[in-house]
Amino acid sequence: MDAPPLSEDELNEIYNWVDTVPLSRPKKHIGRDFADGVLIAEIIQHYVPSIIDIHNYSLAHSVQQKQYNWNTLNAKVFRKMGFQITQKDIDAVIQVIPEAIERILKVIQVKLDMFLEHSEQNQVQKQEKPNEISKNQNQVNHSKPVVNNKQNDKDLVIQDQKETIEILELKIQKLEQLVKLKDSKIQQLTQKLQQAGIK
Which homologous superfamily is 8-119 in? Calponin-like domain (1.10.418.10)
Q: How far is it, in rounded angstroms, from Cα 55 to Cα 41?
A: 10
Contact between 69 and 58 under an 8 Å Cβ cutoff? The reply is yes
Cα atoms in the Cβ-side hemisphere of radius 13 Å centred on 99: 10
pLDDT surpassing 50 at residue 143: no
pLDDT surpassing 70 at residue 148: no
More confident residue, 122 or 63: 63
Which of helix, strand or coil describes residue 176? Answer: helix
For the full predicted model, state whether its pTM sits above 0.95: no
The CB density around residue 91, as the number of other CB atoms within 10 Å, is: 15
Task: Write the CB contacts of 97 (distance below 8 Å, at least 6 apart in sequence).
Answer: 31
Task: Give the model's confidence band at 123: pLDDT under 50 very low, under 70 low, under 90 confident, else very high.
Answer: confident
pLDDT surpassing 70 at residue 133: no
More confident residue, 197 or 7: 7
Residues in the chain: 199
pLDDT score, position 9: 93
Could you tell me the CA-to-CA distances from 11 to 5, 48, 165 in Å, in that order? 10, 23, 93
Nearest to 101 by CA among 92, 110, 109, 113: 92
| Segment of 126-135, 143-152, 170-179 carrying the highest mean pLDDT | 170-179
User: Domain boundaries in the chain?
Assistant: 8-119
Mean pLDDT of 159-175: 69
Instruction: Kindly state the helix (H) or strand (E) to which residue 140 belongs, with its residue range.
Output: helix 100-198
pLDDT digits (tens, 9 = 90+) for 50-109: 999 999 999 999 999 999 999 999 999 999 999 999 999 999 999 999 999 999 999 999
Task: Give the model's confidence band at 198: pLDDT under 50 very low, under 70 low, under 90 confident, else very high.
Answer: low
pLDDT score, position 137: 57
Contact between 88 and 2 under an 8 Å Cβ cutoff? The reply is yes
pLDDT score, position 144: 47
Task: Give the model's confidence band at 36: pLDDT under 50 very low, under 70 low, under 90 confident, else very high.
Answer: very high
